[in-house]
Structure 1
Amino acid sequence: MPSRAELPVGAETRGEAARQAPPAATLRPTHRSPLRPTHRSPLHPGAWWLWALALGTAATRTTNPLLLALLIATSAYVVATCRPNAPWARSYSVFFKLALAVLLIRLVFAVALGSPIPGTHVIVTLPEIPLPDWAQGIRLGGKVTVETVLVALYDGLRLATLLICVGAANSLANPTRLLKSLPGALYEIGVAVVVALTYAPNLIADVQRLRAARRLRGRPDSGVRGLVQVALPVLEGALERSVALAAAMDARGYGRTAEVPRRVRRTTTALTLGGLLGVCAGTYGLLTAEGGTYGLPVLLAGLAAALAGLRLGGRRSPRTCYRPDRWDARAWLVAGSGAAVAALLTLAADRTPEALSPGVIPLTAPTLPLWPAAAVLLGLLPSFISPAPRHPTAPKEPS
């Protein structure tokens, strides 16, 4: 062992500092690194679809433009708060533009083709084109009244709100994970639906990418010329994607079925068909005044039979699901918030129909009913339960 005189310069000092330093176990970080990721399981995609469809159902129960605007604002806030950073999540703006186009088309048809609703407040009188006798009930041009425009506006806004709610579901729910959650009997149908749902987001992403590339190259990306030159690469990419999808499905054995006994197949068919007929009969009974007593029991029995048939039909699909999404408490709360909005607006439409369907003849201004508006605000619950994960940023260097 070397003596103290043989140690290199500074070794003694370093040894003293090491002996005086606290043990490693007692060292604690002074701050938490913001780069540390937070792992949280994503929400079940079915909960997003149930929430969005429930908001759409609530929109069908009213023509009040204030309530419809509140529903649109609710869905937009939830999408802005909970939408992930993914290509398929960018379709909300497209659905919003589609809803505006539907609203404008509805107004143009009401102005150009007229309406059977009588009105006294004339806005403008257009030149009327005479039509033959077999086209009675239809007119081109003529008087355009405030009542006609308002009826068209209310109906178009209701349909636009429904489209925007569907767009919110497309932006929030991952279609691939939604396919994993389907029962085995609906797997093949689900694949076709998922391919159809992902077509629009992928098309939008391709158009945005190609337009950005053309702008960087100094080429036009708008107008007829830009549209024609962008459309061909987009269609080519869609064709290549479809061929790759077909090859992947073939490699994974898509369409392969397992052998099940004939008795199980017949039982599955009987339960599924009988359940669907029971659902139709029960729904008809609930919608009519005469079938109020048997409507709900028949509907529940039909649902139970249909679910049992789907459960048995899943035996013909020999596939497994890797790490399936769990329906946890957050999914129940999200779906329940949408169902509460639909149920409360349905109740309000029965109790106070004049508040949810403002009159046009005589002409009255729509008012915002308080407790239906508060019920719509329940749809904001997902923004507090399942917000989108924030991307960590690097810490700032101390000055």
Structure 2
Amino acid sequence: MRSRGHRATVHPGAWWLWSLSLGTAATRTTNPLLLALLIAVSAYVVATCRPADASWSRSYGAFVRLALAVLLVRLAFAIALGSPIPGTHVIVTLPEVPLPHWAQGIRLGGRVTAEGLLFALYDGLKLAALLICVGAANALAGPTRLLKSLPGALYETGVAVVVALTFAPNLIADVQRLRAARRLRGRPDKGIRGLLHVGLPVLEGALERSVALAAAMDARGYGRTAAVPSPVRRTTAALTLGGLLGVCAGTYGLLTAEGGTYGIPVLLAGLAAALGGLWLGGRRTPRTRYRPDRWDLRACLVAGSGAAVAVLLTLAASADPAALHPGVVPLVAPTLPLRAAAAVLLGLLPAFLAPAPALAPAHKESS
């Protein structure tokens, strides 16, 4: 019998929608227990679903380290510059630097309270969770596959975005490769000396990739446009501009109490007009796709699970703000709201729907 090949992969747009939805859910709460649960959900899905043979799939650890650095910087600022939160539990009193009168409201040093540190921890953990969710998207969806799925009108913008998104994964892969090569040669790969010897080859490799990318884009006719009749161009501009104005007006209506009746219809009409303009604008960029990714039922379920987490946490933040935004004055331990936690666990659905594609076998067995 012949062994099975690669499994069908999930559409990259579904992974990005899932990750950004988890990031949106992270901005709806400062409860450290819910934020830790969101981070755990994203980590489990990445460990289960990311392909093991792709260089860009190993960028998740770098985003985790970046999130940890952001959290530490936020705590350091709270210690050095103080916190607006009043507190009575003093941990340490630092020497305070006197400042001129025009710098009132700012202090350097002084009392460091447990309430101020806890407030900084909650605030920094929210930003750290958002960064980790974005890192999950980079580890699960290949940027080049995502570029293939963009409409033709956004192709040139998408190329710039993809080049920016692939910078971090390629940089991490280069650093790991050069450090491994230095270890094999018995040379130091850590500290200031190792950093200096690794930094120059990494920059050289980045320059070579940029030149190779420019040559490949030029060979493939990047920037070439097709002749489009004038009425189609005017219709495209009108639909795109009118759609964007409609999206802005509809969003404003949803955010204000007076515009609750017209907000959703105007927003939907604006989105429809903008999508129509993008579809017509794609006629100026003739492109062909080799084996395009299909948006199937699994992609809908993956994106829908993330959207459900974002919607349910937004509703929970409106229904029970005290549980999703625990206070620090008085100093009490945060509690885990069970309904919000169950909503976060919906984000685990992709781990069961879209496991990592199996590696191609080295040999095919014949019956």
If the TM-score is normalised by the length of the shorter chain, which range does it land in? over 0.9
Residue matched to 2:10: 43
Residue matched to 2:32: 65
Matches within 5 A, 1:345-384: 345-384=313-352
One-letter code of the match for 2:332? T
Shift of 1:111: 1.0
C-alpha separation in 2, matches of 1:389 and 1:301: 39
Q: What count of residue pairs does the alignment treat as equivalent? A: 362
Residue matched to 2:138: 170
Name stretches of at least 5 consecutive residues in structure 1 with no aligned partner.
1-31
Shift of 1:288: 2.0
Residue matched to 1:319: 287
Q: Secondary structure of the residue that 2:186 maps to in structure 1? A: coil
Shift of 1:296: 1.1
Residue matched to 2:111: 143
Shift of 1:38: 3.4
Alpha-carbon displacement from aligned partner over 1:236-291 (angstroms, at most 9, x marks no partner)? 01101100000000011000001111111111111111111211121122122222
Which has the higher mean CA deviation after the structures are superposed, 120-129 or 179-188?
Answer: 120-129
1:74 to 22, 25, 41: 41
1:92 to 60, 63, 66: 60
Q: TM-score, normalised by structure 2?
A: 0.96
Contact 2:5 2:361 in 1 (8 A): no
Contact 2:5 2:360 in 1 (8 A): no
C-alpha separation in 2, matches of 1:142 and 1:287: 40
Shift of 1:389: 2.6
Pair 1:309 & 2:280 matched: no
One-letter code of the match for 1:239? L
Alpha-carbon displacement from aligned partner over 1:116-164 (angstroms, at most 9, x marks no partner)? 2211111111111011111111100111111111111111000000000
Shift of 1:60: 0.5
C-alpha separation in 2, matches of 1:250 and 1:357: 52
Output the aligned Cα RMSD: 1.4
C-alpha separation in 2, matches of 1:256 and 1:391: 37
Pair 1:53 & 2:32 matched: no
One-letter code of the match for 1:65? P
C-alpha separation in 1, matches of 2:168 and 2:144: 14
C-alpha separation in 1, matches of 2:360 and 2:283: 44
Classify 1:310/1:216 alpha carbon distance in 2 versus 1 (closer, same or farther; 3 Å): same
Which has the higher mean CA deviation after the structures are superposed, 358-367 or 212-221?
Answer: 358-367
Classify 1:95/1:289 alpha carbon distance in 2 versus 1 (closer, same or farther; 3 Å): same
Alpha-carbon displacement from aligned partner over 1:355-396 (angstroms, at most 9, x marks no partner)? 11111122221001111101101100001011013447899x
Q: Secondary structure of the residue that 1:388 maps to in structure 2? A: coil
C-alpha separation in 2, matches of 1:68 and 1:213: 38
Q: TM-score, normalised by structure 1?
A: 0.89
- Aligned structure 1 segments of 4 or more residues deviating by more than 6 angstroms: 392-395
C-alpha separation in 1, matches of 2:101 and 2:249: 41
Residue matched to 2:83: 115
Which has the higher mean CA deviation after the structures are superposed, 259-268 or 91-100?
Answer: 259-268
2:242 to 274, 283, 304: 274
C-alpha separation in 1, matches of 2:171 and 2:11: 25
C-alpha separation in 2, matches of 1:146 and 1:244: 53
Q: Secondary structure of the residue that 1:115 maps to in structure 2? A: coil
Instruction: Give % identity.
Output: 81
Residue matched to 2:312: 344
Q: Kindly indicate whether structure 1 or structure 2 has the higher relative contact order, using CA contacts under 8 Å at least 6 residues apart.
A: 2
Contact 2:29 2:325 in 1 (8 A): yes
Alpha-carbon displacement from aligned partner over 1:99-119 (angstroms, at most 9, x marks no partner)? 000001111111111122211
Query: Which of structures 1 and 2 has the bigger CA Rg?
Result: 1
Q: Secondary structure of the residue that 2:240 maps to in structure 1? A: helix
Pair 1:104 & 2:72 matched: yes
Q: Secondary structure of the residue that 1:127 maps to in structure 2? A: strand
